[in-house]
Amino acid sequence: MLNADRRLGGPYTLAAGLLGHLVPAALERHPELAAAHDIEIRTAAPKLRDAVPARRRSLADDLPRAQRILIPAARRSLRIANGLAEFVRDHLDRARPLTVTVANLDAADHTDAEFVAVLRRRVDPALLRIEEGPGVPSAGARPADFDRYRDEGFHHAMAESGLEALCGMAYGADPERWRQLLQRVAASLEAIEREDEARELYDRARRESTDPKHRATVAYATAMILVRHHDPARRDPEQALAWVNEAITITSLLPDRRERAFHLGFDLNGKALVEVRRGRPAAAMELVQQAIDLAEADLPGEHPIHKLVLHANRGQLLAMTGRAEEALADYTRAVEADPGYPDYYLDRGNLLHKLGRDEEALADYEAVMRLSPPFPEAYYNRSELRYAAGDVAGARADLDHTLELDPEFAPAYVNRSGLSAAAGAYAEARQDVERGLRLAPRDPHLMCVLGQVELAERRHQEARSAFDRALELDPDLVAAWAGRAELAFDLGDHGAALADLTSALKREETAELLFNRAVVHRAAGRPDDARDDLLRAAVLAPGDSDIGQALTEV
């Protein structure tokens, strides 16, 4: 029996117990399997770190904690859980089935609850049975390994244990420890979308502390809540600007040159995000450049992660303003500075894909797959490359895997439902649309696919409603104009079909749309207009046999 009570071991109490049972046998029989999941095993079971050396390493591994500024996001634990599940599955497939009885599962940390959900979803019950056993949760204090929680992104544990610790901690007893813990706890509350509680902590800090660096950090963090709130309706870039200016005012006055360069650069970078949200990318670029200049002048030989983050952020801004080659240079600089960190390969791959450099983009996405525990975005992005290359089966496989890794990855439902609709699998398409709309009810692409499904099933009124809703959400969605045109044509309304196809063509001129409008022109008795559209379509798609045949008929 394994105990999942988080009060005993904090995050991954259950996972560590299971790995303690499985990893020694795996190391004896197939050590390459444990090595392939080094990050996941070492994250969940620190006691196994001596047995499972770090094979995939990042720049942060060798830096002092104060210089490790990239704290994992809350969703990283899902990647860890998927990697652990794959280790468990592949080990048991080579060994023998296992039944695990778990006590106190209802008292598990978020990480273990997520891990169990992934095991149940991804590991065949014939290999692993998980049974819930009785148990009495411990009444002791929660573990308080705050350095581990911060480094690994265990935000739920940091929030829970940290709030408990802060309740019994007076500011005056150890101000530095109090300030550090409050900042860590508030940041974790933000990460798990409990921003109101984080804001309460920052307000408390302002009442207690007059330390300049701390007050600047709290002002910066308040600005980030206001500009990044998980609910877009709660964002307020103007208030955020006021708070981040408060931070900059303080950090620009710090007397130590190196300390000022780091903290001020951090705040300038935060203000750049505020300016982006205010629709001022040029101002944001100037701010990031100021931060880069400060780092290069005053931080020689230190804070390499801070510097690579600044270059990556400048890359994002350069890409946003159409300076793609300069953006690629900045992304490449970030990748080369820390070749073991996966995220910037993803960003660079996305830009390469936009530039049509798909082989290079593919290499970057597959680098993410090698360097990271299972990363849904990498498979989703590769599916787009495969689809563009005509590999529909490969694209579908990557979308399937994306949703196996993360059933809440809404964009994958959009694309997979579209593939299913194109293949005539309308029941599957509808199922994915419904799942997607539960996650993203205002997604125009999902509404468009729903319209295609309704049209295929001859539910004309429902199809019209879906296409209309898609166009309300995104008036430039070409597929919705084309779908609504097809509906109108099926109903014999040639005028409406021509109007919608013309609207689609104003937004994107393609041979397919021109061909379809030619068909409608012919049906409406307008052969000259049909011929004009077909001639233009032939220019865009020379050698298309359908267009050639249609030209002989008008």
Per residue in 327-346, pLDDT (tens digit) is 999 999 999 999 999 999 99
Query: If pLDDT is split at 50, 70 and 90, which confidence band does 326 have?
Result: very high
Q: Which helix (H) or strand (E) holds 327?
A: helix 324-337
Q: Which two three-digit tokens encode residue 250?
A: 């303080």
pLDDT of the residue at 428: 97
pLDDT of the residue at 16: 98
pLDDT of the residue at 118: 98
Question: Between these two residues, 553 and 104, which has the higher pLDDT value?
Answer: 104
| Separation CA 38–CA 426 (nearest Å) | 42
Is residue 124 a contact partner of residue 98, using CB atoms and an 8 Å limit? no
Query: If pLDDT is split at 50, 70 and 90, which confidence band does 140 have?
Result: confident
Question: What one-letter code names the amino acid at 10?
Answer: G
Query: If pLDDT is split at 50, 70 and 90, which confidence band does 116 have?
Result: very high
Q: Which helix (H) or strand (E) holds 128?
A: strand 128-133
Question: What one-letter code names the amino acid at 335?
Answer: V
Backbone angles phi and psi of 497, in degrees to 5: -60, -45
| Separation CA 187–CA 172 (nearest Å) | 22
pLDDT of the residue at 139: 81
Instruction: Read off the pLDDT of residues 3-29 as tens digits, 9 standing for 90 and up.
Output: 999 999 999 999 999 999 999 999 999
Q: Which two three-digit tokens encode residue 364?
A: 């970057």
410-419: string of b/e by CB count within 10 Å (b at 16+)?
A: bbbbbbbbbb
Is residue 291 a contact partner of residue 269, using CB atoms and an 8 Å limit? yes
Question: What one-letter code names the amino acid at 265?
Answer: G
Instruction: Read off the pLDDT of residues 367-402 as tens digits, 9 standing for 90 and up.
Output: 999 999 999 999 999 999 999 999 999 999 999 999
- Mean pLDDT for the stretch of residues 143-148: 95
Residue 283 has a CB neighbour count (10 Å cut-off) of 14
Evaluate if residue 134 carries a pLDDT over 90: no
| Separation CA 513–CA 129 (nearest Å) | 53
Residue 526 has a CB neighbour count (10 Å cut-off) of 17
Residue 129: strand, helix, or coil: strand
Is residue 72 a contact partner of residue 153, using CB atoms and an 8 Å limit? yes
- Mean pLDDT for the stretch of residues 47-59: 96
Query: If pLDDT is split at 50, 70 and 90, which confidence band does 508 have?
Result: very high
> Counting Cβ atoms within 10 Å, is residue 98 exposed (0-12), middle (13-18) or buried (19+)?
middle
- Mean pLDDT for the stretch of residues 51-59: 96
Instruction: Read off the pLDDT of residues 351-365 as tens digits, 9 standing for 90 and up.
Output: 999 999 999 999 999
Backbone angles phi and psi of 2, in degrees to 5: -115, 145
Residue 98: strand, helix, or coil: strand
pLDDT of the residue at 142: 85
Query: If pLDDT is split at 50, 70 and 90, which confidence band does 494 have?
Result: very high
Evaluate if residue 533 carries a pLDDT over 90: yes
pLDDT of the residue at 476: 97
pLDDT of the residue at 230: 96
The model's pTM is 0.93
Evaluate if residue 505 carries a pLDDT over 90: yes
Return the residue matching tokens 């499904």.
Answer: 453
Tell me the percentage of the chain whose pLDDT exceeds 70: 100
Return the residue matching tokens 């044509």.
Answer: 489
Bridge partners for 129 per DSSP: 99
Instruction: Read off the pLDDT of residues 150-166 as tens digits, 9 standing for 90 and up.
Output: 999 999 999 999 999 99
Is residue 119 a contact partner of residue 128, using CB atoms and an 8 Å limit? yes
Cα dihedral across residues 307, 299, 180, 225: positive or negative: negative
Is residue 227 a contact partner of residue 267, using CB atoms and an 8 Å limit? no
User: What average pLDDT does the structure give for the chain?
Assistant: 96
| Separation CA 294–CA 289 (nearest Å) | 9
pLDDT of the residue at 543: 87
Q: Which two three-digit tokens encode residue 125?
A: 């019950």
pLDDT of the residue at 199: 98
Query: If pLDDT is split at 50, 70 and 90, which confidence band does 192 have?
Result: very high
Give the Å distances, CA to CA, from 58 to 80, 147, 296, 339, 374: 16, 18, 22, 7, 16
Query: If pLDDT is split at 50, 70 and 90, which confidence band does 553 have?
Result: confident
Helix 376-388 to helix 410-422 angle, to the nearest 10 degrees? 30
